[in-house]
């Protein structure tokens, strides 16, 4: 079956969001990334700032408290996870699209028409990119990379029980530092 949906998981600073947006633009299909936060906020009744904060609150320390809190019942984070799953599944049902992050690879894992990609690059490439693109301080971009990747890995592991970034969990893994952003776009577009 032809791919209708592309999910892009990515290391912080690797250009995954940029790649996803460009693939979607060239294919003339929607790209969902931060737009998912607005949809989740609307469906949950929480403020967008709260939904975004919950996403950023995940860390390895979160995992220990999350297991403890789960004994007391469903947490707000669990509630948002269910809404996130529902929103992503609904978007996939509506038509072709690119979905960046938010465990979409796992949420849509049973769909035959979904291409799952992981974008990565070496730390040097990512550090230079986040200083240039995101305006990070040039003194310690590596620290920011470690923190963001640690949170993404912890969140992914907690809700999917799968190792984030592990090649066997994706159909294709691309090194944007070696291939370049534009070549990654071309490869994903050709697989659509």
78-114 pLDDT, tens digit each: 899 999 999 999 999 999 999 999 999 999 999 989 9
Residue range(s) defining the domain that contains residue 180: 5-191
Q: Is the CB of residue 170 less than 8 Å from the CB of residue 113?
A: no
Q: To 5 degrees, how large is the angle CA 181–CA 169–CA 118?
A: 10
Digit-coded pLDDT (tens) for 158-178: 999 999 999 999 999 999 999
Q: For a pLDDT cut of 70, what percent of the chain falls above it?
A: 89
Residue 73 has pLDDT above 80, yes or no: no
Mean of the per-residue pLDDT values for the chain? 89
What is the per-residue pLDDT for 60?
A: 47
> pLDDT above 90 covers what percent of the chain?
73
Please report, for residues 104, 114, 154, the alpha-carbon distance to residue 92 in angstroms, rounded to integers and kept in the order given.
10, 9, 25
User: Structure pTM?
Assistant: 0.89
pLDDT at 67 over 60: no
CATH of the domain at 111: 3.40.50.300
Instruction: For residue range 51-62, list pLDDT tens digits in order.
Output: 888 875 655 455
Count of the separate structural domains present in the chain: 1
């Amino acid at each position: 079956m032809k791919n209708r949906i592309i999910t892009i998981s990515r290391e912080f600073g690797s250009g995954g969001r940029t790649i996803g947006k460009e693939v979607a633009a060239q294919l003339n299909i929607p790209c969902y990334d931060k737009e998912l936060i607005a949809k989740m906020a609307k469906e949950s009744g929480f403020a967008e700032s709260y939904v975004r904060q919950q996403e950023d609150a995940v860390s390895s320390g979160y995992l220990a408290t999350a297991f403890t809190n789960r004994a007391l019942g469903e947490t707000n984070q669990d509630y948002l996870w269910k809404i996130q799953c529902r929103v992503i599944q609904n978007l996939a049902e509506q038509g072709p699209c690119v979905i960046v992050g938010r465990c979409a690879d796992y949420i849509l894992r049973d769909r035959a028409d979904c291409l799952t990609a992981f974008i990565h690059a070496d730390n040097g490439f990512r550090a230079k990119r986040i200083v240039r693109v995101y305006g990070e301080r040039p003194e310690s971009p590596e620290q920011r990379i470690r923190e963001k990747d640690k949170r993404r890995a912890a969140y992914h592991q907690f809700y999917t029980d799968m190792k984030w970034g592990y090649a066997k969990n994706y159909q294709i893994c691309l090194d944007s530092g070696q291939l370049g952003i534009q070549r990654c776009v071309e490869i994903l577009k050709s697989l659509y």
